[in-house]
Amino acid sequence: MTAFAVVNARLLDPASGLDATGALLVEDSRIVDVAAGGSAPSGVEIVEAEGLCLAPGLIDVRVKTGEPGAEPKETLKSASLAAAAGGVTTIVVQPDVDPAVDDPAMVDFIHRRGAALDLVRVLAAGALTRGCSGERMAEIGLMDEAGAAYFTDGDHTIVNSRALQRVMTYAAAFDALVAVRPVEPWLNDGAVATAGDAAAWAGLAAAPALAERIQLHRDLTLAELTGVRILVDLISTEAALDSLDRARARGLQVAASVSINHLCFNDLDAGDWRTFYRLDPPLRAESDRLAMIEGVRDGRIEVITSAHTPAPAEDKRRPFAQAAPGAVGLETLLAAALTLHHEHELTLLEVLRPLTLGPAELLGLDGGRLTAGAPADFVLFDPNAPVVIDADALRSKSRNSPFDGRRLQGKVAATWVGGRRIFG
């Protein structure tokens, strides 16, 4: 592969705190040099950035597809194309599909299939229990050897505390990361919204926001007992964030992720209960949304994810309570995250850190940074370019986006993976 340099770019690297105009030199799929205020050496191909922002490629740790088993919802290829268009260079595919990713052969299948597509980097999360059923432990050790990024039952709560203790104990033995959803199963049974006036007026089954903290306390207690590294997956309430603070003060190895949807919407945004806003966890109060933004600003939330969950039209065009939960978000992730910069005064580095360096450090990846020797995975974007989201034009096979029709600022111009330009 010939060397090339991206010049006249605003270089943004959360790892080093770099925010300066300069050039990036790439050779043989790796970053060779990052020259703030510098220019490209002679004899290399020049890519003119024209002042646009150049940042590490986004890493999305929570992506659902329909492959294998439900390809009409989403395939690895359609998800990868959407990711590339959104500046996402690495995706971690969730295991709660049919068949579940609960053995090393399935992990290997996901990795080989992603590599064959030759688009973004595709990693697999392995299941904690067989079939994500919450009962018998899956082959965690063998999946770890096969390269599973981390372990989770996805949207399925392990209700049996003894079963969760066992898988945490086993995972801790080889320092594997375990992700848990703080969803209290009994209070949330049948609930489709957060308890409050809006849900009551609409007659919707709802659960109190504090149910998140109730389940989180159990999971954190078991993590403290077993010594496992834990990711609290899709935190959405201020009360749960306070619980995380206390756990960290006791020395627990705990990180947290938040969905981009819970940074951009509150429970009133659903309006007349449009099913594109039927999410899991459900949208919360404005005070919770603002607390999540502050958690991103001060670093208490390490990861922002798209929580990409495709659902075809026939699963969404139903009464709100009967519609499938979830939204696609790979292609809109960066533009949506930039609302934190434009509307809440976070710096671009503060916005980018939980999209790049945060997940890279959590998963032990060498990407997520603009440094010599790192993979040449990066995105060129205009943070101020206006864009109106048109769900029908999204590259995902499902178009269930709550951002449909919303005006955002931020447009991806080009995406590179391993020094290859895969979009733009």
User: pLDDT per position in the chain (424 positions), as tens?
Assistant: 579 999 999 999 999 999 999 999 999 999 999 988 867 777 789 999 999 999 999 999 999 998 888 888 999 999 999 999 999 999 999 999 999 999 999 999 999 999 999 999 999 999 999 999 999 999 999 999 999 999 999 999 999 999 999 999 999 999 999 999 999 999 999 999 999 998 999 999 999 999 999 999 999 999 999 999 999 999 999 999 999 999 999 999 999 999 999 999 999 998 889 999 999 999 999 999 999 999 999 999 999 999 999 999 899 999 999 999 999 999 999 999 999 999 999 999 999 999 999 999 999 999 999 999 999 999 999 999 999 999 999 999 999 999 999 999 999 999 999 999 999 9
Whole-number pLDDT of residue 400: 94
Q: What is the structure's pLDDT at 66?
A: 87
Q: Is 127 a domain residue?
A: yes
CB count in 10 Å sphere of residue 201:
8
Q: Tell me what pLDDT residue 272 has.
A: 84
pTM for this predicted structure: 0.97
- Could you tell me if residue 29 is inside a domain? no
**Residue numbers of the domain that contains 145:** 57-368+386-407
Is there a domain that residue 10 lies in?
Answer: no
Confirm if 4 and 41 have CB atoms less than 8 A apart. no
Please tell me the predicted confidence (pLDDT) of residue 38.
67
Q: CA angle, corner 168, sides to 163 and 170, nearest 5?
A: 100
On whether residue 418 sits in a domain, the answer given is: no
In a domain? residue 11: no
Q: Residue 194 domain-assigned? A: yes
On whether residue 18 sits in a domain, the answer given is no
CATH of the domain at 204: 3.20.20.140
233 in a domain, yes or no? yes
Question: How many domains are there within the chain?
Answer: 1
- Rg, Å, the chain Cα set: 21
Write down the residue that tokens 């931020």 correspond to.
Answer: 410
| β 420-423/407-417 pair status | antiparallel
